[in-house]
A and B are shown apart, each in its own frame.
Chain A
Amino acid sequence: IVLTQSPATLSVSPGGSATLSCRASQSVTFYLAWYQQRPGQAPRLLIYDASNRATGIPARFSGSGSGTDFTLTISSLEPEDFAVYYCQQRSSWPLTFGGGTRVEIK
């Protein structure tokens, strides 16, 4: 299953909001996760099964969608939120990741 993320880069002002998209080449029902990766760090799980926040993830991160279209919304961006975000499906083997969206400071 191919995951296509858009846009490739998103420029947002601190305190603003960001909407990231992940589209699957076929339905993954709700078996989609989102990760944040800061420079030089490993990815961090944010959202699992489309809309569930992982432990310790702030409420400003929210996920939605099902089937083939998914969205990660980040509200009131904090300085530490400027990073690259990846989606990942677990609906079928092999596990696959999207190409990533970079959220940069405007």
Chain B
Amino acid sequence: QVQLQESGPGLVNPSETLSLNCSVSGYFIRSAYYWGWIRQPPGGGLEWIGNIFHSGTTYYNPSLKSRVTISVDTSKNQFSLKLSSVTAADTAVYYCARDFRGFGNDAFSVWGPGTIVIVSS
């Protein structure tokens, strides 16, 4: 059974870089599927941030592309999110997820529980 778990600082200073990891258990990242990040501001809707394949192929949301880097570490079976120059608008619950069929542009069928990140000094 595939499980995902986000981890990282819950508080980030404005203008700094938000860094999160997603640890995957029950499945080898290098096998298949795309792995993604989605966020949800307090009381708000869902926003797709980006996806990555184990080869390193990435797709990013253009609205965040200049500030986002998603990377994968197959030796640790995890993937990561870095979001630079954060502001209060980046305060959100951040979810990592696995896509449904490995298409890259697909629905997300497995989600982590989410981790809240607050941007504040």
Contact = CB atoms under 8 A, between A and B. Distances in A.
Interface string B82-115: 0000000000000101001001011111011110
A86 B45 contact: yes
A93 B105 contact: yes
Interface stretch (A14-22, A64-72, A73-81, A95-103): A95-103
B28 interface: no
A51 interface: no
Given A94-B62, A97-B46, A42 B107 contact: no
B105 A90 contact: yes
Question: Taking chain B's interface residues, is the majority helix, strand, or loop, or is none over half, making it mixed?
Answer: loop
B45 A100 contact: yes
A53 to B, nearest CB: 12
A90 B103 contact: yes
A88 B109 CA distance: 12
A54 interface: yes
Contacts of B48: 88, 94-97
Size band of the interface chain A makes with B:
20 to 34
Nearest to B111: A42
A33 B99 CA distance: 12
Nearest to B107: A33
A48 interface: yes
Nearest to A93: B59
A45 B108 contact: yes
B45 A42 contact: no
B26 to A, nearest CB: 15
Which of B45, B47, B113 has the most C-beta atoms of chain A within 10 angstroms of its own C-beta? B45
B75 interface: no
B63 interface: yes
A33 to B, nearest CB: 4
Given A35-B107, A93-B59, A94-B62, 5 more contacts: A42-B111, A43-B108, A45-B100, A88-B48, A100-B46
